[in-house]
Amino acid sequence: MGTSSAGKGSATRLLEELIETARRCGITVRREKLLREVGYRARSGACRLKDQTYIILDRDQHPREQLELIAEVLKERSLGQIDLSSSRAHLSLVDSIRRD
Domain ranges for the chain, please list them: 2-99
pLDDT in tens, 39-96: 777 889 999 999 999 999 999 898 888 988 988 888 877 555 555 555 555 566 656 5
Give residue 27's pLDDT. Answer: 93
Dihedral (CA of 73, 47, 63, 41) sign: negative
Give residue 82's pLDDT. Answer: 56
Is 28 in contact with 53 (CB distance < 8 Å)? yes
pLDDT in tens, 5-42: 555 677 788 889 889 989 988 999 999 988 877 777 78
Residue 43 φ/ψ, nearest 5 degrees: -135, 155
* DSSP H helices in 1-100: 2-24, 63-76, 85-99
Q: Is 9 helix (H, G, I), strand (E, B) or coil?
A: helix
Instruction: Determine if the pTM surpasses 0.75.
Output: no
